[in-house]
């Protein structure tokens, strides 16, 4: 456990709670850094284990940063020494097109993280999974009992990673698996970099399919809160998390464009016409879109979040529109300052490929 400390109030010494040491793999990423900020606000001593520096001046002096790869079992064990809580976020995301790297990081990395947590004597492990394990669900809403039908190598690797974490329960480790919907908020770029560029420049918002099907998102601060609560309650199980206020992508994105006085409006592209071409461009590495995007964006998808609400005591704060607005405002402010690239995949602009022509004319 962390060292005890004393706080003084006037002339009276007050015994404070021990400082908890929290280890966060992937703590420099878009989701990870939101969790790190939340843990610091709780008074935790945070160790970030990641390949890249968080590049966040507001927390630079408040964390211990360990540069390391989750494929390095010994490095993880060293970083986790004397830890009280372990949050495993590090992963290869779809945009990386990582191939075998998906399995090395999203499965092997989980096994190493579990080993590090157990070797440190940590009793509870929070593992961040993905809605990609459900693929294209046959029925809605998706619940924790919905059978996984993972899509692509990324989805299959994330499901295998879940199972690696769940096996640790046989070794006495309590494991909370958090399955989030698509995460949005200040600092999010990746594929949203393209959408925000179109809106900022007053260009059409091109969308596969009608965009008229319900589509649930999740803010990064709501996800951070869910992970914190999972650890605080020592929850053992699987939890789907997403906002409880969402409409359709057409409504939400058009609403955002209207709110920022942009001429942009959604323009639908028939799925049957565009999907084969997008798949070919993906294979040729000429498109910013990967299978998870062009095979699911035109499908309705939302979680039933009652289990997280009831067991974790979690309640989402942000609607789809609110999180998109916050993310867009951050994008505009940081684009103007020339500070968009933050390092990790979801915190950096995407390569446009042949989509560059759709962005011509932006300001």
In the block, tokens 């998390």 appear at: 241
- What is the value of pTM for the model shown? 0.89
CA 293, CA 96: separation in Å to the nearest integer?
13
Nearest of 244, 241, 243, 245 to residue 307 by alpha carbon: 241
Asked whether residue 180 is domain-assigned, the answer is yes
Instruction: Find all residues with CB under 8 Å of 320, minimum gap 6, and list them.
Output: 184, 215, 216, 217, 243, 245, 246, 247, 252
- Bridge partners of residue 125, in order along the sequence: 86, 175
What's the maximum distance between 2 C-alpha atoms anywhere in the chain?
A: 75
Asked whether residue 153 is domain-assigned, the answer is yes
Asked whether residue 6 is domain-assigned, the answer is no
How many other CB atoms are found less than 10 A from the CB of residue 155?
24
Element (H, E) at 15: strand 12-15
pLDDT at residue number 212: 96
CA 309, CA 315: separation in Å to the nearest integer?
6
Measured between alpha carbons, how far is residue 26 from residues 129, 200, 218 in Å? 13, 30, 19
Task: Please report, for the chain, how many H helices and E strands are present, in that order.
Answer: 12, 13
pLDDT at residue number 362: 44
Asked whether residue 95 is domain-assigned, the answer is yes
- DSSP structure string for 146-198: SPP---HHHHHHHHHHHHHHHHGGGGT-EEEEEEE-EEESTT--BHHHHHHHH
The tens-digit pLDDT sequence of the chain (363 residues) is 344 333 333 333 334 446 799 999 999 999 999 999 999 999 999 999 999 999 899 999 999 999 999 999 999 999 999 999 999 999 998 877 878 989 999 999 999 999 999 999 999 999 999 999 999 999 999 999 999 999 899 999 999 999 999 999 999 999 999 999 999 999 988 888 889 999 999 999 999 999 999 999 999 999 999 999 999 999 999 999 999 999 999 999 999 999 999 999 999 999 999 899 989 988 888 877 888 888 899 999 999 999 999 999 999 999 999 999 999 999 999 886 655 555 555 445 555 455 554 555 444
Are 114 and 60 in contact, with CB atoms under 8 Å apart? no
How many other CB atoms are found less than 10 A from the CB of residue 40?
16
Asked whether residue 36 is domain-assigned, the answer is yes
Asked whether residue 221 is domain-assigned, the answer is yes
pLDDT at residue number 347: 46
Q: What residue numbers bound the domain in which 182 lies?
A: 17-251+256-359
Asked whether residue 45 is domain-assigned, the answer is yes
Q: What is the DSSP letter of 308?
A: I
Asked whether residue 158 is domain-assigned, the answer is yes
pLDDT at residue number 195: 92
pLDDT at residue number 99: 87
- DSSP structure string for 229-266: HHHHTT--EEEEE--S---BHHHHHHHHHHHTT----E
pLDDT at residue number 109: 98
How many other CB atoms are found less than 10 A from the CB of residue 342?
20
Q: What is the tally of structural domains in the chain?
A: 1
How many other CB atoms are found less than 10 A from the CB of residue 270?
11
Instruction: Find all residues with CB under 8 Å of 16, minimum gap 6, and list them.
Output: 4, 5, 6, 7
CATH of the domain at 135: 3.40.50.720
Are 105 and 98 in contact, with CB atoms under 8 Å apart? yes
């Amino acid at each position: 456990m962390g060292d005890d400390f004393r706080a003084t109030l006037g002339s009276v010494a007050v015994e404070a709670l021990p400082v908890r040491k929290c280890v966060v793999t992937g703590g420099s990423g878009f989701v990870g850094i939101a969790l790190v900020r939340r843990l610091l606000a709780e008074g935790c001593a945070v160790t970030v284990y990641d390949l890249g520096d968080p590049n966040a001046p507001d927390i630079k002096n408040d964390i211990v940063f360990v540069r390391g790869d989750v494929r390095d079992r010994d490095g993880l064990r060293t970083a986790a020494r004397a830890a009280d809580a372990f949050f495993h976020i590090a992963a290869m995301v779809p945009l990386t097109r990582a191939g075998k790297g998906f399995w090395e990081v999203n499965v092997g990395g989980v096994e190493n993280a579990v080993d590090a947590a157990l070797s440190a004597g940590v009793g509870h492990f929070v593992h961040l999974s993905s809605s990609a394990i459900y693929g294209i669900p046959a029925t809605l809403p998706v619940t924790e009992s919905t059978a996984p039908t993972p899509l692509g190598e990324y989805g299959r690797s994330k499901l295998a990673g879940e199972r690696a974490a769940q096996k640790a329960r046989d070794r006495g480790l309590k494991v909370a698996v958090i399955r989030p919907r698509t995460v949005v908020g200040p600092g999010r770029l990746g594929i949203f970099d393209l959408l925000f560029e179109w809106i900022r420049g007053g260009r059409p918002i091109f969308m596969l399919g009608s965009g008229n099907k319900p589509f649930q998102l999740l803010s990064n601060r709501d996800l951070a809160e869910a992970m914190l609560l999972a650890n605080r309650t020592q929850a053992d199980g699987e939890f789907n998390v997403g906002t409880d206020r969402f409409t359709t992508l057409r409504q939400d994105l058009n609403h955002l464009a209207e709110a920022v006085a942009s001429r942009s409006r959604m323009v639908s592209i028939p799925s049957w016409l565009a999907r084969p071409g997008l798949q070919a461009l993906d294979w040729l590495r000429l498109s910013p879109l990967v299978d998870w995007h062009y095979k699911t964006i035109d499908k309705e998808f939302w979680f039933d979040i009652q289990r997280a609400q009831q067991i974790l005591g979690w309640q989402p704060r942000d609607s789809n529109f609110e999180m998109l607005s916050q993310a867009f405002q951050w994008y505009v402010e940081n684009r103007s300052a020339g500070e968009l690239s933050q390092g990790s995949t979801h915190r950096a602009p995407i390569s446009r490929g042949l989509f560059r022509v759709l962005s011509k004319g932006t300001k």
